[in-house]
Amino acid sequence: MAKHESKIKWRDLQDKAKTFPLGRVYEVGDLFPATKRKVPDERIEELKQKGFIGDVEEEKEEAADEPEQPKEEK
């Protein structure tokens, strides 16, 4: 499954719970969906078209997987 991240701050009215009864709030850079729930492809495309989410850049994913190397001292 492709990963997506929020491009703007927005409220997902289709993701409600006791802790966020008006809908989950996504900040810029938050991963979507915030949980492992299944989101239909149509919903993903709708959110992309409206500018709420975009695909996570491959560089970001790779950088997160690699441990940071210590800098060499001169």
Mean pLDDT across 31-46: 94
pLDDT at 39: 93
Domain boundaries, the chain: 4-55
pLDDT at 66: 61
pLDDT(54) > 70: yes
Residue 74 CA to residue 62 CA, distance in Å, equals 28
pTM of the full predicted structure? 0.71
Mean pLDDT across 41-55: 96
Residue 47 CA to residue 12 CA, distance in Å, equals 10
